[in-house]
Structure 1
Amino acid sequence: MFTLAHMSDIHLGPLPKVKGRQLLSKRLLGYVNWHRGRKFMHRRDILDLLTNDLKARSPDHIAVTGDLTNLGLPQEFPLTAEWLRNLGSPEAVTVIPGNHDAYVRVDPEKATAHWQPYMEGNEPGQALYEQIPGEFPFVRRFGDIALIGLSSAIPTAPFIAAGRLGTEQRRALGEILDRLGRDGLFRVVLIHHPPLPGQAGWRRGLRDAAEVRDILRIMARNSSCTDTTTNRASSNSKQSAVRRSSSAPRRHLKPSMAVSPPPATTNMPSSRPETAGGWR
């Protein structure tokens, strides 16, 4: 039995000291929002309780699907990398970025490169799909389970938190799902923005969601399995879920942190793709 724990929208606090010139962009609105209310929702003490509870369950693997930072500041990324190291090793934790991690354009070497060991295919995954270094998608294989890491994180205008995979990632996703399905693997797609309809409005949605749904739909039709699930984070929330082949217990630490509950059961292994993500 393989147990996959899922977290999203960490928004690690407190916010580090911000230089004035760093606020000459969309970050100014985010900075104001943080101090007006978000800092009271994304409390570090609650996050620590949540992660300690999750680690106590000893899952086989942990997926963190984006928005580890708040304003995408260069000084936030080393702090989130330290948090990740406390959560687990790169072999035990997989990470993809969210829209807050691409708040504005930043040199990747000063940003998500700090997480790179957590965003690379492992050796069995590379044998199935050879990742272009530093790019997406990537594949991690654990026995009959395969995690497919995507990035929908793109810089956007103020008041917009939308995402996009783009043509190359979508093409690669279709090829990967087809290959892994033919190998009989249970496929878990990690993406920050929800691809299913009705889960996010235009300002926060996945711009190429229809194209992504078509890919998933084709793969599902070609599969003999019947279970497909999507888990999304609600607004202003951190997310944690534990997925396993038996019931998946979860705990709401505080009402404001609660999210839509995941399906109670997931049959592993199987060949139909499942999606896991979050957005804010």
Structure 2
Amino acid sequence: MSPRRHSVTVTEPVGTDPFSCEEYGYGLGRVEGILVLKYRSAAVLEFGESRQDFLHQLYWSPDGMLSTSYGARTQFVGHREAFWAHRAVTHEVRAADRQTVYRICLRETPQVLTGLRAGAVSMAPEAARLIETIARPSCGEAEAFAARARIMAGLGPATSDFVGHHANGTGFALTVARALSHDPGDEAGLAEWAERLHVSVKTLQRDFEREFGMPYSKVRTKLRLSTSRVLLETRPVAEVAHRVGYSSPSAFITAFTREYGCTPGRYAERGYDGEG
């Protein structure tokens, strides 16, 4: 059976921007089948309002944060993780503008995720690469099935899996970065994180330099600003500033403008034509 694949551009209701959706399906209708939907939009991408799907869903973005909701819990997910939702579980996912999002639909639950209804899961670098590989017209079905098995093997629900998939050093910096990506408003400083992890401040700072090539403070700022882009479409600047951990809207505006070349207000109004 040849893979089902096509690319379409769908125009949303008046007042919103068009988005593209490329669809790649392999073995559809079979337990081992996989459907990959690749989305990109000039505006914010929203995946349903309280959607309940009949297939298991895995959402991943290689170039930005995802805002995810499950029950009363809101969580942010970075590019080293994906968001898993068991079929028929109510959930919502949002992404910022000009952001690529992959939605992988499965009939089978990866063994390591058995019992997980919804939440952030670690994804090994190889699994991320293979998702991009099978979302291409040149990918054959045999290659896609082999990739599917390795993608599922590259998922993990626990912090230990996350560190194991990604750490080059001690894993302390990645543990902190994962916690911050889920809750960028956490106000803990480097010393407090070091105390929580029972390591010295010097050890933790050294691990940040090794893992990210920059200090803790810069990693935290980048995570906060990336997360703010997902929120600005629907929430006022002052609320977003507080949500991502800034003590005042002015401090947030200064940091955002320095990073993206425009104010948060202008960004939210879609009056900005830069690459941001």
TM-score, normalization by structure 1: 0.29
Q: Which of 1 and 2 has higher RCO (CA within 8 Å, sep 6+)?
A: 1
Give TM-score, length-normalised by structure 2.
Answer: 0.29
